[in-house]
Amino acid sequence: MSVAAERLQLPFARPNVLDLAPLYEVLRREAPITPVTTPAGDPAWLVTRFEEVRDLLSDKRLGRSHPEPERASRITTAAVQDGPTGNYETEEADHARMRRLLTPAFSAKRMRMLSDYMQQLVDGYVDQLLVEYADATDGVVDLHTGLAFPLPVAVICRLLGVPESDTVYFHSLSERMASLGTGDDAHQAREEFNRYMIGLVETKRPDLGEDVISDLIRAQSADETFDYGEMVRLCVGLLFAGHETTVNRIGLGALFLLTHRDQWEALTADPVGRVNATVEEIMRLGAPGDLGLLRYAHTDLDVAGATIRRGDAVILSINAANRDASVYSDAETFDPDRPERTHLGFGHGSHFCIGASLARTELRVVFTTLARRLPGLRLAKELDELEVRPTLTGGVTSLPVTW
């Protein structure tokens, strides 16, 4: 167990935005649960093998809260996934209420009903890209600012009932919150985001509409155990998770497809037939961010030869699990035709992503439309030349393409 002899320091440097550090492969084989030092300098366990990651994601002995929060390991200096969240005593009940309130609004059926709206949006963005392309002397346009970014933002604004004119502001707050830089700017940004959300909530209150934030305001005023601050945190979390993650995934998906020309051509030949499998493969291999899902042990537990103590931080690397060679054949290869159809890209168990149907619907619309309307699409820069965002959620800052 050579690798486990010393505590490894997270994050592990990655070769580029698509590939993971080769060290993960060694860890999965030799030390699937290994002690690490977090970016914030505290001890934690890193779990890298599919089986253990999946099992621990559905294990009720771990949670997001900590029995003694002030003693908990800190993970990052950002203001998301930085440490324990929620109240140890009421975590389960609070979480159950959150799921009950939000699940119906993001159900598969409702998201399907939105797909015509998404299609109109995407067609509009592609029309605009065509105009920009005609005007660009070098024939290069940016798929990030032209499509990957505006689509998820427009959709989440509509669902949540947030004015789209606030985009620049809440996006800059999100970036600062997830920033891995030092200092406490990330936490100031979270404070500002909270204040912004309180302002929005109070503006909406006299005239509630048919949107998720209005629903949460109604639910909070009808339930005295539903704390105002918790409702605000939830709204901030939705606006953050609802755009950051999907923007990145569209960008990574385009990069996987455009650096695997055969897969792109297969998709352009049969967009509707191939899009679902293509999107699932993008979900499996796309690995923004270099950490994982965060939990704290609520009791002592033995897993794969390691003894995790009550209160220990556990980082579940879904990125590593999704490339586990004991589960996936040619695990590192982008191959939508692979026989294995599951992945942990949206998590697993009770915290499984609430926005999964939304994100999938958006990704499907984006990639069928690009394949249909811009079949000659290609990258205008090398993969290594693309700038990666220095945030917890990763992704690229621009995606120059041509056709």
Report the residue number whose CB is nearest to ligand HEM. Answer: 355
CB of 265 to ligand HEM, least distance (A): 24
Cβ nearer to ligand HEM, comparing 141 with 161: 161
Answer for which of 61, 74, 99, 373 binds ligand HEM (CB under 6 A) is 99
- For ligand HEM, the binding residues in 276-295 under the rule CB under 6 A are 293
**Kind plus residue range of the DSSP H or E element containing 379:** strand 378-379
**Contact status, residue 216 vs residue 256, Cβ threshold 8 Å:** no
Looking only at the bridges linking them, the beta strands covering 8-9 and 301-303 are: unpaired
- Asked if 218 interacts with other proteins (CB under 8 A), we say no
CB of 319 to other proteins, least distance (A): 17
- What lies within 8 Å, CB to CB, of 33 at 6+ separation is 45, 46, 47, 48, 52, 303, 304, 305, 306, 308
> Would you count residue 100 as binding other proteins (CB under 8 A)?
yes
Nearer to other proteins, 176 or 295 (CB): 295
DSSP codes, 96-134: HHHHHHHGGGG-HHHHHHTHHHHHHHHHHHHHHHHHHHH
**DSSP string for 116-182:** HHHHHHHHHHHHHHHHHHHH-TT--EEHIIIIITHHHHHHHHHHHT--GGGHHHHHHHHHHHTB--S
Q: Which is nearer to ligand HEM, 220 or 245 (CB)?
A: 245
In terms of Cβ atoms closer than 10 Å to its own Cβ (0-12, 13-18, 19+), residue 216 is buried
- Of the listed pieces 37-45, 86-94, 194-202, 342-350, which binds other proteins according to CB under 8 A? 342-350
Q: Which stretch binds ligand HEM (CB under 6 A): 114-122, 233-241, 262-270, 300-308?
A: 233-241
Q: Does 18 bind ligand HEM (CB under 6 A)?
A: no
Phi, psi of 179 (to 5 degrees): -70, 140
Using a 10 angstrom Cβ sphere, with 0-12 exposed, 13-18 middle and 19 or more buried, the burial of residue 293 is buried
**Residue 301 near which of ligand HEM, other proteins, none (CB within 5-8 Å, type-dependent):** none
> Which listed range, 11-19, 104-112, 220-228, 293-301, lies at the site for other proteins (CB under 8 A)?
104-112
Considering only residues 359 to 388 of the shown chain, the ones binding other proteins according to CB under 8 A are 360
CB closer to other proteins, 10 vs 241: 241
Q: What angle do CA 251, 252, 254 make, to 5 degrees?
A: 65
Are 234 and 74 in contact by the 8 Å Cβ rule? The answer is: no
Backbone angles phi, psi at 15, to 5 degrees: -65, -35
- 104's contact among other proteins, ligand HEM, none, with CB below 5 to 8 A by partner kind, is other proteins
Can you spell out the DSSP letters for 14-69?
-SSSSSPPTHHHHHHHH-SEEEEE-TTS-EEEEE-SHHHHHHHHT-TTEESS-SSG
Among 15, 22, 43, 104, binds other proteins (CB under 8 A): 104
Check binding of 115 to other proteins (CB under 8 A). no
> Which residues ranging from 49 to 68 are in contact with other proteins (CB under 8 A)?
58
If the CB atoms of residues 242 and 394 are measured against other proteins, the closer one turns out to be 242
Which of ligand HEM, other proteins, none lies near 103, with the C-beta cut-off 5 to 8 A by kind?
Answer: other proteins
Nearer of residues 71 and 109 to other proteins, judged by Cβ: 109
Residue 108 binds other proteins (CB under 8 A): yes
Binding site for other proteins (CB under 8 A): 58, 99-100, 103-104, 106-109, 111, 341-342, 346-350, 352-353, 356-357, 360
In the complex, the residues that contact ligand HEM under the rule CB under 6 A are: 99, 106, 237-238, 241-242, 245-246, 249, 293, 318, 345-347, 351, 353-355, 358-359
